[in-house]
Amino acid sequence: MAENTKDMRGKIPKLPDVKPYEPVPYDVDAMVDPFKPNKIEPESKYKQVAGKGGAFQPDFEAREVRNSLLEKYPIESLKMIGYMHVNNRPMAVVQVEDKVKQVKVGDYVGLDFGMVTQITDTEVQLRELIQDSAGDWTERKSSLYLQSKEGSKK
């Protein structure tokens, strides 16, 4: 067996020559300082319009005029407890604490300028305007779902 395996050794090629290390020049002057405020704070996605933040702007003055009860509570505290048609228009019955109000498409609810966009028999869809860390106002979709008799969410 030793005679059979003596010719079976493989040949290993010679290692390639090692190239000398050449350092890359590092020019700090051409780099952006990572600690400058314009590097740390993200730029606005939207151009500032007369000092305001973003493409969407909530109407603060109209909110004061409306003075709606449902705009004084966060969306999480509102419950959809019913659905009905009045004059062939869908309306939702919304409860907050011990108060019950009817809402229709176009009404405002919640603290984040939430406008009712659609009402179905099981859901009230909202479009809210929220302000991000850069000061821009962005749209967020949210919903209120019909509560069961026990008050649990779907």
Cα–Cα nearest to 95, from 110, 105, 82: 82
Per the model's pLDDT, the better-predicted residue between 50 and 130 turns out to be 130
What's the average model confidence in pLDDT over 50-55? 53
Buried b (16+ CB within 10 A) or exposed e, 83-111: beeeeeebbbbbbbeeeeeebeeebbbbe
How far apart are the C-alpha atoms of 154 and 150, rounded to whole Å?
A: 11
pLDDT band for position 69 (cuts 50, 70, 90): confident
Domain 28-145 has CATH 2.30.30.830: yes
Residue 59's pLDDT is: 73
Residue 130's pLDDT is: 87
pTM of the entire predicted model? 0.58
Residue 81's pLDDT is: 93
Cα–Cα nearest to 140, from 120, 115, 119, 122: 115
Q: State the DSSP H helix or E strand holding residue 108, giving kind and residue range, or none if neither.
A: strand 108-109
